[in-house]
Amino acid sequence: MATISMDVDTSQNEVYLYGDIEKLIGNRFAWRYMKDYLHPTKDADRIRVPIEDKDVIKVLSDIRSMLKKYGFDEKQSETSEQVLKDFYEEERKFSEFSQKALHIRNNDCAPNEFKAFTDSVIRNMPARSLYPLQLLSAYHLAFAQNACNFSVPGAGKTSIVYGAYTYLKNLADDDPKKVDQLLIIGPLSSFGPWELEYAECFGKIPTVKRLMSGLSRDERIDYLYSRHTAELTLISYASLVSLQEALTFFLKYNRVMVVADEAHKAKNTSGGVTAQAVLEISRYCNARAVLTGTPAPNGYEDLYNMFKFIWPTKNIIGFEVNQLRDMTVRRNDARVGRLIDNIAPFFIRIKKSDLNIPAAIVHPTIEAEMGSAQRRIYDFIERRYIDAMLEEGITDISSRFKALLVQARMIRLMQAATNPAMLKTPLYEFLEDDECPQEAYQAVNDADVLKEIMGYGTIETPTKYLAVKKLIEEIIASGGKVVVWATFIHTIHELKEYLAHHGIASQELYGAIPVEQEGVAEEADEQILTRERIVREFQCEDCHYKVIIANPFAVAESISLHKACHNAIYIERSFNAAHFVQSKDRIHRYGLKPNDETHYYYIVSRDSIDETIDARLTEKERRMTEIMESMPIPLFDNVSSDMGDEDIKALIKDYVRRTKKN
């Protein structure tokens, strides 16, 4: 085996490689890596690598990883400067540290240390008892200080973070691992749940600062430079870039644990400014946690920024982004096993089956027979669109034009299957894309059908509304509460009015409902309807409304309804399985009592696109569950996506079957 040794000259700000350098240069993959990332210069008997303005330890670590990856034996130079000796010693210690983190992840904990951790959590987090896997996950995070949690929605990732945080917070002041504050980076919808969970874990309200639109940029900056900051600071990913300098100061001068919640939102590895801002501040954190139930929605490359964030000076992944992309395509690539082994010490994952929660009850699909006017309108629209697709040969959506055209037509069919009155609304309200072709916006140009659409609201009530009302009345009569999931905002508004007309109070929960602007929940202006206020009220036993009508696109993440609500009705659904599964997890998650029954009701219009969506979601959910239960890092490809080639083919197949039958 070829041997390479390293040396460092800090006066010249260079790293030198000696030994079998011709073999190193002759290895095209190793040399290409060096040229792309290390910018070497070849001398007669050595290779010089500039340190420039980079961290010398990071450069040494990159070189060492490269040598190991491409099969070179590494030999420590006898003339090494102290910095290199310190590096080797640090690497040795980190290797031991990583092995211990791996043992903890695999539930092989030192009994005395684990007991000390457990006792601290019980003592300092008195209002919440963590279940065994949560406790192990919290211990793993507290030990590593820098780790990812890829557990499924509903596993209690927020409680896990608080368990680790309270242990680190209560260490002695001279302990280098001690932290005093939390900075949560996440979507706006996560702010309320973080505050609520704190109160439920610790039995008290935290001091909180939300750095969001309610404050001017100057106010946010002043806060971050202040010496009197809150225990819990919340900021969205979108706000990071403009506050990066102030955040750096805040992290340098406080002992902060930083949590990247729903971290898949910062996965961009192609120079995205948000992702770059997250990575920039990572160097100044005392502890780091990454939380997401979907760590690799597009492929293994999505993992890159997550592990770079938790260990900015270490090459944990061991692969470059282009290699990770290649491994995503080559699913049986042997490197995948090495990747999982590399990251295993620093991630933990609780699967749905690990939660031991009562199985949900999925009721038989409720088929609503369309009214005569709706049936005429729907059949006209469907025939026009499907026939056009067959004539145009659009059985795949490989091009942007085809994708937009098909998407527009599918939206129109979904609208017609619920309430044809939505066909009056211009499609740009649903497809926010200036480049969308004009064909995509066309609705109907048949005069008779157009007349029925324009007057549909006065002709008949959508039968789906009747079915939803009947179900809600039965659920409320038995003392229950219910969340109704709808795809279109028009449906949310109209259904609310329809239910109110029949004496059923409900509340809307979708993207336009604001999050609270500032401080803890009690300080919110009670005249302003916020998502947090709606969820708080809904959880109360004496809440005057027993129904929430929600949109899974806006609130399928972060919000928990399972303590008050055990029933979900789906009045309409799209092909997007990820949003569907996430919405189901709002009421089916850890914390349910053994005798709690979770009920799902799906309403579809007979002989319509609804039936195709129902079948496709059933299959996609089955495949997603299989993947999530069997793979350490689940890759979904287009399993969870919103309308792929297989969805279009299934729709056409169902249409042909129905028209032949009739």
Which tens digit of pLDDT belongs to each residue from 180-227? Answer: 999 999 988 889 889 999 999 999 999 999 998 888 999 999 999 999
CA distance 105 to 137: 7
Asked whether residue 250 is assigned to any structural domain, the reply reads: yes
* Confidence at residue 96, expressed as pLDDT on a 0 to 100 scale: 95
Same domain, 98 and 183: yes
Backbone angles phi, psi at 165, to 5 degrees: -60, -45
Asked whether residue 528 is assigned to any structural domain, the reply reads: no
Strands 547-550 and 482-485: parallel
* Confidence at residue 81, expressed as pLDDT on a 0 to 100 scale: 65
Nearest to 208 by CA among 441, 520, 469, 661: 520
Average pLDDT estimate for 595-605: 96
For the chain, what is the domain count? 3
pLDDT in tens, 438-472: 554 454 455 567 778 888 888 899 999 999 999 99
CA atoms within 13 A on the CB side of 70: 20
CA distance 577 to 556: 12
What CATH number has the domain bearing residue 15?
3.30.780
Asked whether residue 514 is assigned to any structural domain, the reply reads: no
Same domain, 138 and 110: yes
Asked whether residue 141 is assigned to any structural domain, the reply reads: yes
CA distance 84 to 77: 9
Same domain, 250 and 305: yes
**Which residues share a beta bridge with 605?**
368
* Planar angle of CA 202, 203, 205, nearest 5 degrees: 90
* Confidence at residue 269, expressed as pLDDT on a 0 to 100 scale: 54
CA distance 388 to 394: 8
Backbone angles phi, psi at 540, to 5 degrees: -75, 140
Sheet order of strands, 47-50 included: 41-42, 47-50, 14-19, 3-9, 73-76
Give the residue ranges of DSSP H helices in 419-557.
Answer: 447-454, 456-459, 463-477, 489-501, 531-539, 552-555
Q: In which domain, by residue range, is 36 found?
A: 3-80
With a cut of 50, say whether residue 434 has pLDDT above it. Answer: no
pLDDT in tens, 121-158: 999 999 999 999 999 999 999 999 999 999 988 899 99
pLDDT in tens, 611-649: 999 999 999 999 888 888 888 887 766 555 666 778 888
Taking CA atoms, 366 is separated from 54, 265, 289, 508, 602, in Å, by 62, 36, 43, 23, 6
Taking CA atoms, 97 is separated from 48, 93, 163, in Å, by 31, 6, 21
439, two tokens: 């064909």
Indicate left, alpha or beta for 504 from its phi (over 0: left) and psi (-120 to 50: alpha): beta
Same domain, 344 and 385: no
Asked whether residue 135 is assigned to any structural domain, the reply reads: yes
In this structure, are residues 650 and 612 in contact, taking their beta carbons and an 8 Å threshold?
yes
With a cut of 90, say whether residue 166 has pLDDT above it. Answer: yes
396, two tokens: 């795949």
Same domain, 141 and 224: yes
Same domain, 289 and 434: no
DSSP 8-state code for residue 371: P
Taking CA atoms, 469 is separated from 79, 258, 459, 486, 499, in Å, by 81, 45, 19, 14, 7
**Domain's final residue, options 33, 55, 80:** 80
Asked whether residue 289 is assigned to any structural domain, the reply reads: yes
512, two tokens: 């336009």
pLDDT in tens, 508-559: 998 888 877 654 344 444 556 788 889 889 999 999 999 999 998 877 666 7
CA distance 183 to 250: 10
> Which amino acid is located at 489 in the chain?
I
Residue 120: other Cβ atoms inside 10 A: 18
Asked whether residue 656 is assigned to any structural domain, the reply reads: no
Same domain, 166 and 210: yes
With a cut of 50, say whether residue 411 has pLDDT above it. Answer: yes
**Domain's final residue, options 438, 458, 478:** 458
CA distance 662 to 393: 24
**Domain's final residue, options 14, 49, 80:** 80
CA distance 308 to 146: 11
133, two tokens: 């896997």
CA distance 340 to 461: 54
pLDDT in tens, 298-320: 789 999 999 999 999 888 998 88
Asked whether residue 576 is assigned to any structural domain, the reply reads: no
The more confident residue out of 69 and 211 is 211
DSSP labels, 111-141: HHHHHHHHHHHHHH-TT----HHHHHHHHHH
Same domain, 97 and 214: yes
Name the band, by pLDDT with cuts 50, 70 and 90, for residue 419: very high
Same domain, 330 and 447: no
Same domain, 309 and 382: no
* Confidence at residue 401, expressed as pLDDT on a 0 to 100 scale: 67
What value does the mean pLDDT of the chain take? 87
DSSP labels, 402-465: HHHHHHHHHHHHHHHHH-GGGGGS-GGGT---TT--GGGG-----HHHHHHHHTHHHH---HHH
Strands 599-605 and 366-368: parallel
Same domain, 129 and 106: yes
Same domain, 300 and 176: yes
348, two tokens: 């933990």
